[in-house]
Chains A and B, each alone.
Chain A
C-alpha cells in the first residue's frame, strides 16, 4: 500500500522553453533536453576570429562533415553535467577502494621487480596517450558547436585526464610516491623503439585540423583498438605472468570504455546515415588511420602477448565497424 501526499498543483503557462518546444512539443522536457539542445550561439557573430579569419566563431565548416542538424547526434547516456559527474563520482569511489586495497596489501610492491618494470614499460606510458586524447577532445569541444555533441567531448577530455592520473598512480605505488618510476616509464615513451610508432601517431593526431576527423581517429579508431588490446588482452597476459592484481587498478578503464563505445558508435552511425558524402569521407578516414593505429600497437603486442592477440582485436574492431557501415582495410572479414 502506498500513501500519497496531496499537493497544490498550479497551472503553468507553458511546459518548457520555446527552443525545446520546437523540437519536442509543448510538454514537460527532461533535464537532458533542456540542458543540451539549441542553447549555443548560431548566428550574427560580431567579429571574425584573429586565429582563423576565413571562418566565423561557431562555424560549422570547421569539419568537412555536413549535417542538416548536428543535434541529431545525441548521447545515449543522456549525460548533462550533473548526471555526468554523479556517474563518475561513483566510478571513482570504486576505483579508490581498489587502489587503497592494493596499496594496503602491498599487492603491487611485492611483485617481482621484472614484472614491475613490465608495468612501467607497457602499461604506465599509456598515460601519455591519454594526455593526447585529453588535448584532442578538449580541442574538439572548442570547435564543434551543438550542445549535444560538444558536451560529450569535454566529458571525454576530462575522463582521459582522469585515466592518465590513474595510470600515473600505478607508478607512484611502485616507487613509493617518489616519482622515480614515472620518470623511468617516461623514458620508455620517449626513447624505447617499442613506443615510437604510437608516439608518432599521437603527435600526428595533435595536428589534425578537421574536428570530426579528429574525434573519429581518436575516439573510434585508436581507442577502438587500444582499449581492447591493452585492457583486455594485455590484462590477461599479465595474469599469466603472475600480475593478476593489476587488473583491479584498470577496472575503471574497462568500465569506462564499455560505456564510451555507446556514444561514439551512436555519433558515427548518425553521421554515416546522414549522407553518402559523409559515409565516403568517414570510410576514407578509416582507411587512412586504422592501419596507423594497428601499426602503432604492433610492437607492444609483439613484445608481450603476441601479434595474434592484436589481430584478434582488429577482427573484433572490424565487426564493430561493419555494424556502423564501415570497412576495415586490414581485415577482409
Chain B
C-alpha cells in the first residue's frame, strides 16, 4: 500500500492499539452502554484528552509479568523447601503477616473486582485499558500473597481462615468497610479513593512498612513479593495521578466534588493506616522506622509537595490534615493498647514490648511515650507478672464511619477521647473524630447501613451469646491457639523449640483447648 503519511509516534501507535479499537455506537445509545458515568456529577467533556499513564500492549504485559512470576515462584519454592520460616527474626513477627493476610490481601481481591468493573464502565477506551490492567494486577497480588503466606500458614497459627475472618471479625470491618465504601460508590469516586488517595498518596505508608518490615526481619517470601510488585505499584501510582489531573482539567465543576472526595478518602485512609502504625512500632521485632518518621517522610513531605502541585487546579490539602499530623505521636500506642486488651478476640497475639523496645519508643516519641504510654505498659506488665494478664471483657464503642473503636484523642489533649455524637432521623450515632463525623453528615444514608461488628454481636447475629462463642464459632478463631497473649502461646513454644531456647516439650506445646 502506497502511503505518504508519516510513521506513527509511539504515543499515537499505542492509541491505535487501544482506543482506536473503540467506536461511536449507533445501534445502542452511549448512555445505555455506559450508564454509570453521570450520576456522580463529574463532567467529562473529552475522553480523548486522557493521557495514557503507561503504554503496555498485551504481548509486552504477558512477557514482563511472566518473567516476574517465574522468579517469584522459584523463590517461594526454595523458601518452603528450606523452611525459610525458621530464619525470621522472631515468631512475634508473624503476627504482622496475620494482620496483612486477613486485613490487606482481601482488599486486593476487592480491588480486582472494583477495577474490572470500572474497566468496563468508563466510556474512554484508554482509561478502560489502564483499569483492566490494574484489575488483573490486583488479582495477581491477592494470589501471590496467599502463596507467599502458604508456608507460614503451615507452621504458625492465625493465618488459616483469612477470607472468612475478613467478613466477620470485629477489627477487620475497618479495612472491609473502607473498600466496601469505595466499591459501592460511583466509578469516579472509586478511582479517586483507590487510585489517587490510596495507591498514590498513602501507598508508601501501607506497602513500605510491611515489605521493609519483612526485609528487616528475615522474611524472604514476603519481601520477594514486595520487590516483584514494585513495578506494578509504579503503574498504579501513575494511573492515580493521571486520573485526578484528568478529572480536574475536564471541567471546573469537578473541582469541589473531587475536593470533597480527597478530604473524605484522606481521612478514611488515615484511619485505616492506624492498623499499620501499630504494626510498624510494635509488631516488628527489628524496627524499620517509627510510624512518626514514616508519616513525616511519606505524608508531610511527599504529600505536601503533591498538594502544592495540585494547587493550580484549585485543590487544597485534605481537611483535618493537621489533626493527622498531630496524631502521628499517638496512634500506634493507642492502637497497640487497644489490641493488647482485646486480643482474646483477634487472630493474632499481642504482648508487652521489651525494655529495649520501650527505650526505642521513648527515643522515637520523646514528647509522648514516657508521659502517656510507658506507664500503661509497665502497669500491665506488673499485672501480667502477678498472673493477672489484663483482658477487657467489655466490648468497645465503635466509630460509625471508620469502625475503629472510639479510642482516638483530641488533637491537643491526649487524655481526652475525641468522641463526637450526632442525631440523625431520631437515631444516635457516634464517631471517633470530627473527620469521621463530617463524612457521615455528607452521606448519612450510606453510613447508617454499616454492619458494625459489636452491634451485630449484641443483636445476636454472630452465632453466639458470649464473646468466646462468637470468637470460636463465628470467627473461626481457634481459642488458645490463634488468640490471646504471645508469651506461652503455641507459636511461642514452637519457636522456642526451633531455636533450642528450651528443651522441646511436645506435651506442653499442645494447646490447652485442643479437642
Contact = CB atoms under 8 A, between A and B. Distances in A.
B16 interface: yes
Interface string B158-175: 011111101110000100
Interface string A132-168: 0011101101110001001101110111011011101
B474 to A, nearest CB: 11
B139 A154 contact: yes
Interface stretch (B21-29, B210-218, B326-334, B412-420): B21-29
B449 interface: yes
Given A14-B160, A41-B106, A46 B181 contact: yes
Contacts of A135: 120, 128
B146 A92 contact: no
Given A17-B160, A18-B161, A174-B1, A92 B451 contact: no
A35 B147 contact: yes
Contacts of A18: 160-161, 164, 476
Interface in B118-151: 118-121, 125, 128-129, 132-133, 135-136, 139-140, 142-144, 146-147, 150
A39 B106 CA distance: 7
B58 A57 contact: no
A116 B1 contact: yes
Nearest to B67: A89
A3 to B, nearest CB: 16
Interface string A40-72: 111111111111000001100000000000000
Contacts of A273: none
B446 A47 contact: yes
A81 B33 contact: no
A281 interface: no
A13 B153 CA distance: 8
A38 interface: yes
A31 interface: yes
Select the residue from A8, A139, A161 with max chain B CB neighbours within 10 A. Answer: A161
A86 B7 CA distance: 32
Contact of A158 (B121, B136, B160): B136
Interface in B42-90: 57-59, 61-63, 65-67, 69-70, 72-73, 81-83, 86
B384 to A, nearest CB: 26
A175 B6 CA distance: 10
Interface residues of B, number: 100
Contacts of A291: none
Nearest to B2: A113
A179 B8 contact: yes
B154 interface: yes
Contacts of A130: 21
B74 to A, nearest CB: 11
Given A39-B109, A86-B69, A182-B16, A165 B58 contact: yes
A153 B16 CA distance: 24
B65 A85 contact: yes
A51 B447 CA distance: 16
A276 interface: no
A157 to B, nearest CB: 6
A136 B6 CA distance: 34
B240 interface: no
A93 B106 CA distance: 33
A239 interface: no
B253 interface: no
A46 to B, nearest CB: 4
Query: Is the contact region of chain A dominated by helix, strand, or loop, or is it mixed?
Result: helix
Contacts of B23: 128, 186, 189-190, 199
Nearest to A31: B147
B464 interface: no
Interface in A161-200: 161-162, 164-166, 168-169, 172, 174-182, 186, 189-190, 199-200
Interface stretch (A203-211, A298-306, A309-317): A203-211
Given A8-B83, A86-B66, A131 B146 contact: no
A283 interface: no
Interface in B308-339: none
A199 B25 CA distance: 9
Contacts of B168: 43-44
B116 A142 contact: yes
B451 A48 contact: no
A232 interface: no
A34 B3 contact: no
A26 B353 CA distance: 36
A48 B184 CA distance: 6
A186 B159 CA distance: 53
B132 A158 contact: yes
B21 A38 contact: no
A131 B381 CA distance: 63
5 contacts: A47-B184, A135-B120, A141-B113, A178-B5, A204-B28
Given A51-B187, A89-B62, A135-B128, 6 more contacts: A41-B176, A43-B167, A85-B65, A85-B69, A138-B117, A182-B20
Interface of A: 7-8, 10, 12-19, 31, 34-36, 38-51, 57-58, 80-82, 85-86, 88-89, 91-93, 95-96, 109, 113, 116, 127-128, 130-131, 134-136, 138-139, 141-143, 147, 150-151, 153-155, 157-159, 161-162, 164-166, 168-169, 172, 174-182, 186, 189-190, 199-200, 203-204, 206-207
Nearest 7 pairs between A and B by C-beta?
Answer: A142-B117, A162-B58, A89-B66, A12-B154, A139-B120, A141-B116, A178-B5
